Amino acid sequence: MEPMSSSNPDLRKVAVAAEAEGFGRSVDEISAKVDTLEKRVNEVERFYLTTGSPQLTNSKGSSIVKDKQLNLLKKQQQDASRREVTATKRMQELMRQFASIFRQITQHEWAWPFKEPVDVESLGLHDYYQVIEKPMDFGTIKNKMEAKDGTAYKNVREIYADVRLVFKNAMKYNDDKDDVHVMAKTLLEKFEEKWLRLLPKVVEEETRRVDEEAEARLHTQLAQEAAYASMARDLSTELVEIDLYLKDLREMVVQKCRKMSADDKRKLTTALTQLSPDDLSKALDIVAQNNPSFQASAQEVDLDLDAQICLRFILPSLYTE
């Protein structure tokens, strides 16, 4: 059996091919890593360039931010739920106080014309629906106040608006001197007086809700900024690591370089002529990196093969024949 000597050209060819293949794998891995980092960098840039939430992709970086945002969303939902429960209790108290005002008005001796829907047919009010766009009465209001489904009033201002509508409809349809018009106007004045005493509490609650929602939006924005700032710091660290890795890889290639033989030059020349335009451009860029005076973009280039001993690692196919 032929001894495994470094002077054996076949063994040298196998060794070089193995080294080139390993180098190629390293280049592929680092390229994939750089592509991923680029997507993450673009995503961070989009976040800071826009005021809204960024569109998440399927990249690893997006997964990191998406996980953080999911946790943030869960916490926001919990906080929002607690705020809503507390706000609902406060609004229910306001509606309870409004209900007291409503009972006082509906129990007034002049409230009887407004307790039920207007009987248009019995009263012969043929033009009623032409004049009144939205009929309203105390009975309908009371049912909505006591409802347990989606038809119930959501806040006290909705009830206030409907009570006013009862009186406004009566005043609009009946002449100024008509008894119903006078009764409606009188009760409306009494109702407004009572409402004005409750109004400061209503305004206070509305202002509080606006402030809480603004604070929640601010917390969301700050949390998003913190998540992306953390991602930016991680990216910076990874980019430094990749830069160091590329320097080590370059040093390894330089150490493995040797003077090219005539056979190497022939194979390199053949391989270069068979490259696609894109791959050839990349190869010439590599030459330019090691030779600043080399014009890689020129229409015709003068390539000193003796100075390009490291291209054998970029073109591993030369040594697999």
Over the chain (321 residues), the average pLDDT of each successive run of 10 is: 48 55 68 74 73 44 55 68 83 93 96 95 92 96 91 93 97 95 97 96 92 80 72 76 73 62 70 74 68 59 54 47 44
203: number of Cβ within 10 Å:
10
- Whether the pTM exceeds 0.85: the reply is no
The tokens describing 247, both together, are 């320097």
Report how far residue 37's alpha carbon sits from residue 49's, in angstroms, rounded to the nearest whole number: 18
Q: What is the pLDDT of residue 43?
A: 75
Q: What is the pLDDT of residue 105?
A: 96
Compute the Cα dihedral for 51, 57, 61, 65 and give only its sign.
Answer: positive
Q: Give start-end residues of each CATH 1.20.920.10 domain in the chain.
A: 70-224
**In whole angstroms, what separates CA 78 from the centre of its chain?**
19
Angle at 117 between CA 116 and CA 120, to 5 degrees: 130
Report how far residue 56's alpha carbon sits from residue 231's, in angstroms, rounded to the nearest whole number: 13
Q: What is the pLDDT of residue 60?
A: 46
Helix (H, G, I), strand (E, B) or coil at 118: coil
Q: What is the pLDDT of residue 138?
A: 97
**In whole angstroms, what separates CA 34 from the centre of its chain?**
24
Q: What is the pLDDT of residue 70?
A: 62
3-class SS string, 108-124: CCCCHHHCCCCCHHHHC
Report how far residue 64's alpha carbon sits from residue 255's, in angstroms, rounded to the nearest whole number: 39
Helix (H, G, I), strand (E, B) or coil at 7: coil
Report how far residue 116's alpha carbon sits from residue 188's, in angstroms, rounded to the nearest whole number: 17
Q: What is the pLDDT of residue 209?
A: 87
**In whole angstroms, what separates CA 260 from the centre of its chain?**
55
Name the nearest CA neighbour of 159 among 85, 91, 90. 91
Query: Phi/psi of residue 135, each to 5°?
Result: -60, 150
Q: What is the pLDDT of residue 19?
A: 59
Q: What is the pLDDT of residue 5?
A: 45
The tokens describing 253, both together, are 């290639």
Q: Give the CATH architecture of domain 70-224.
A: Up-down Bundle (1.20)
Cβ pair 231, 64 in contact under 8 A:
yes
Q: What is the pLDDT of residue 304?
A: 57
